[in-house]
Amino acid sequence: MQMMEGLGTKFKTSTWGIIGFLVYKTIIYLNGFEERRLRWVIIKMKKEFDSVNYKKTFKNLIFEKSSAKISPKVKEIFIQTQPRKKEFLQKVPIGKIYIDGHTDNEPVPYPITDFQRYGAVYDDNYTLSPAQAREARNILVGNLDEELSRYIIVAGYYSSIPLDPKNPAADINRRVEIRFVVEYN
């Protein structure tokens, strides 16, 4: 204590405060309290966010055969759901929206180049399914700002995941699935 003689009260108080804080942090670290607390918070958040995670499948003739153009009725539904997507992305900073395009197994009969009529340019189901997902994304993005819209991701699965595996050519297999996902690292 002789070393602190002659120093002001504020300096002594702040020095003891810093020493106390460092001792506290050392004890917390050695006991693993911070890690346990973070794990607890992650578990609580995961439970909360898992109630948010869901998938919506649009399958009832959303697309004509071999087309990426979304039907007007479904387009209207997509436009009505834009606020929900925006709210999800704003409230959940680790959230992403995945839009998955799926086709039936019927091959595209010829290369499609009429963008106005079919919504994209493609020549097979491998390029058609991501074009369908991209078309849905373009509608869903709506008036989202650039920062939020980068969390809406598209993928094409062509006919690899049919809803009706016994009949891979069935209309029900032509669909778009929208998944709201909270990703944890």
User: For 12-26, how does the pLDDT look when each residue is reduced to its tens digit (9 = 90+)?
Assistant: 567 777 888 888 888
Of the two residues 136 and 7, the one the predictor is more confident about is 136
CATH code, 54-182: 3.30.1330.60
Of the two residues 121 and 64, the one the predictor is more confident about is 121
d(CA 45, CA 53): 12
Question: Contact, 120 vs 133, CB < 8 A?
Answer: no
Asked if residue 185 has pLDDT above 80, the reply is: no
DSSP 8-state class, residue 71: P
In this prediction, residue 137 carries a pLDDT of 92
Mean of the pLDDT values across residues 66-95?
Answer: 84
Q: Give me the residue spans of the domains in the chain.
A: 2-43, 54-182
Burial class (CB in 10 A: 0-12, 13-18, 19+), 32: exposed
User: How much of the chain, in percent, has pLDDT values that exceed 70?
Assistant: 85
